[in-house]
Amino acid sequence: MTRAEAGHHATDGPPRVLPGNDSAAIREAAALIRSGELVAFPTETVYGLGADALDPTAVARIFAAKERPSFDPLIVHLADPAELVAYTHPADAADPRVARLAARFWPGPLTLVLRKRDNVPGIVTAGLSTVGLRVPDHPVALALIRAAGVPIAAPSANRFGRVSPTRASHVVRGLGSRVRLVLDGGPCRVGVESTVVLLADGRAALLRPGGLAAEAIEAEIGPLEVPVPGAPGRAALAPGSSGAHYAPGARLEIVDPFGPGAARHLRAQPGERLGLLATSAAGAEAARAAGGPFAALQLLAADGDPVTVAAHLFEALHDLDAAGVTRIVAQPVPAVGIGRAVMDRLRRAALDA
């Protein structure tokens, strides 16, 4: 390796951040992907850490950079729904439910888990016979996939178990020199990851609530089964979807400021730096009246609109981390629509690692 090459090595300093709407930046990022390197890029949900999905060595770099356990499969990102047939079992590709969901919701925050073809490397799917596929609804992501000319495997661009990034600065702070290039697309519009649905072997199962409401999917293809956490076979069906995750540095508790006995949890203990994550202005008011003092306060949506709450959730957790709070009290939202994804992420953030 020459000095010049070494200067680009992943262990040498922070990543370069380039504007995602610049065609030269896209070309450079695509060349990195084709040469087996990692690039972080924006999607409508969260930032992804991408590599050539058909190159097992490149995909191995994702697992190393994230310190992600090898049993947790990656989502493969496509630029066009028509590419699905190239990577999935013909019977699943021909499933009318697949065509229906792809036509209705792609590009968008929906990942379909289907039986894979042999051309998808086993490291991508953590050895499973299925592969998760989605077409992201973001011009930078689509431009990158098209320019690279290969499908891009990408998990969220955070270290394993930590809060997902919704801004380029979150990626830089979380991964540092583990990634060489970050394409900056500004804040992510949806703010929580894609909804993951398994449609293989005649099943229809919600593996992860996400940015697309499960109700919208059910309106197209009928009821989704929800594998019960802890049930036999559940871990094998939905690896990476249970247990502690999205952990901010501080301990997080879900506390309804309008609920009975809330005050006890909302009061800062001596020596504690308490952070408030409010999902409505009324909730923030109630929490301040009943508890505090709060060293930091994040209001996700004045009117409590769950779409706005989701859009700002991870950013608020990153900001509370940066404020150095030692405990976070988070106001719940009703677990319907995208609120189901918000509650899933809050519950998992509240679990001890």
Q: If we measure between CA atoms, which residue out of 35, 4, 1 comes closest to residue 181?
A: 35
Nearest to ligand TXA of 74, 84 (CB atom):
74
Euclidean distance between CA atoms 171 and 37, whole angstroms: 16
Q: Which residue has the tokens 């930078």?
A: 140
Backbone angles phi, psi at 45, to 5 degrees: -95, -70
Does residue 271 sit in helix, strand or coil?
Answer: coil
**Contact letters (x/-) for ligand TXA, 109-148, by CB under 6 A?**
x-x-x-----------x--x-xxx---x------------
Which partner in Mg ion, ligand TXA, none is near 291 (CB below 5 to 8 A by kind)? Answer: none
CB of 239 to ligand TXA, least distance (A): 6
| 79 lies in the binding site for ligand TXA (CB under 6 A) | no
**Residue 74 interaction partner, one of ligand TXA, Mg ion, none, beta carbon < 5-8 Å per kind:** ligand TXA
Distance between alpha carbon 136 and the CA centroid of its chain, in Å? Answer: 12
Q: Considering only CA atoms, which of 18, 55, 4 is closest in space to residue 180?
A: 18
Q: Which does 88 bind (CB under 5 to 8 A by kind): ligand TXA, Mg ion, none?
A: none
Residue ranges that bind Mg ion, judged by CB under 5 A: 156
Nearer CB in complex with Mg ion: 48/227: 48
> How many residues of this chain bind ligand TXA (CB under 6 A)?
29
Beta pairing partners, 327: 251, 274
Q: Which of residues 26-55 bind ligand TXA (CB under 6 A)?
A: 43, 45-46, 48
Instruction: For 186-219, give the DSSP string.
Output: -S-SS-SPPEEEE--TT--EEEE--SS-HHHHHH
Q: Which is nearer to ligand TXA, 165 or 275 (CB)?
A: 165
- Nearest Cα to Cα of residue 153 among 220, 251, 261, 65: 65
Residue 209 found at the interface with ligand TXA (CB under 6 A): no
Please give the angle made by the CA atoms of 86, 20 and 151, to the nearest 5 degrees.
10
147, interface contact from Mg ion, ligand TXA, none, CB < 5-8 Å by kind: none
The distance of closest approach from Cβ of residue 157 to Mg ion in the complex, given in angstroms and rounded to an integer, is 9
| Residue 163 C-beta: closest distance to ligand TXA, Å | 11
User: In this complex, which beta carbon is closest to ligand TXA, that of residue 132 or of residue 304?
Assistant: 132
| 101 near ligand TXA, rule: CB under 6 A | no
Please spell the DSSP secondary structure of 132-170, one letter per residue.
Answer: EEE----HHHHHHHHHHTS-EE--BSS-TTBPPPSSHHH
Question: Please, are residues 303 and 280 in contact by the beta-carbon 8 Å criterion?
Answer: yes
Q: Is 246 helix (H, G, I), strand (E, B) or coil?
A: coil
Q: Does 196 bind ligand TXA (CB under 6 A)?
A: yes
195 binds, among ligand TXA, Mg ion, none (CB under 5 to 8 A by kind): none
If binding is defined by CB under 6 A, does position 280 make contact with ligand TXA? no
Question: Would you say 333 and 313 are in contact if contact means Cβ atoms under 8 Å apart?
Answer: no
298 binds ligand TXA (CB under 6 A): no
Binding region for ligand TXA (CB under 6 A)? 43, 45-46, 48, 72-75, 109, 111, 113, 125, 128, 130-132, 136, 154-156, 193-194, 196, 207-208, 238-241
